[in-house]
């Protein structure tokens, strides 16, 4: 989904400088992360769990965004702007409070930018 990818790229700002230069690494090569592993992490803990690697943060934020979308029956508009908007909000909130639960921050911004779906899967 394009908007989740944009969200992830924009949320790179939440992590130390230099991480963006490593963002060119393929996210596909990063290990997968289960919701059970990702849910209890703070912003700071997620960065450490990702070995301070942007490529390894991507699956954590993606997993959390998917949990939020599914649990709340939401869909992100498929636009780069939506993803960038959510990503900037995630980055700003993580910078303001590195000890906040990353899921709470991701969920907050997914809800803010997403629309409700009425389609049956």
Using the predicted structure, report yes or no on whether residue 53 has a pLDDT greater than 60.
yes
Q: Kindly report the pTM of this predicted structure.
A: 0.75
pLDDT tens digits for 27-47? 445 567 899 999 999 999 998
Per the listing, tokens 């991507």 go with 58
- The answer to whether residues 33 and 114 touch, using CB atoms and an 8 Å cutoff, is no
- The answer to whether residues 106 and 61 touch, using CB atoms and an 8 Å cutoff, is yes
* Predicted pLDDT at 28: 47
Measured from the Cβ of residue 94, the count of other Cβ atoms closer than 10 Å reads 23
Domain borders along the chain are: 2-116
How far is it, in rounded angstroms, from Cα 100 to Cα 70? Answer: 22
């Amino acid at each position: 989904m394009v908007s989740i990818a944009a969200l992830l790229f924009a949320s790179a700002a939440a992590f130390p400088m230099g991480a963006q230069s490593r963002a060119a690494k393929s996210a596909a090569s990063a290990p997968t992360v289960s919701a059970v592993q990702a849910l209890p992490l703070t912003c700071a803990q997620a960065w450490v769990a990702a070995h301070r690697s942007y490529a390894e943060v991507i699956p954590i934020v993606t997993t959390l965004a998917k949990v939020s979308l599914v649990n709340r029956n939401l869909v992100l508009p498929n636009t780069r702007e939506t993803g960038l908007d959510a990503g900037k909000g995630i980055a700003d909130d993580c910078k303001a409070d590195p000890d906040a639960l990353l899921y709470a921050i991701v969920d907050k911004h997914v809800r803010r930018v997403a629309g409700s779906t009425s389609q049956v899967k």
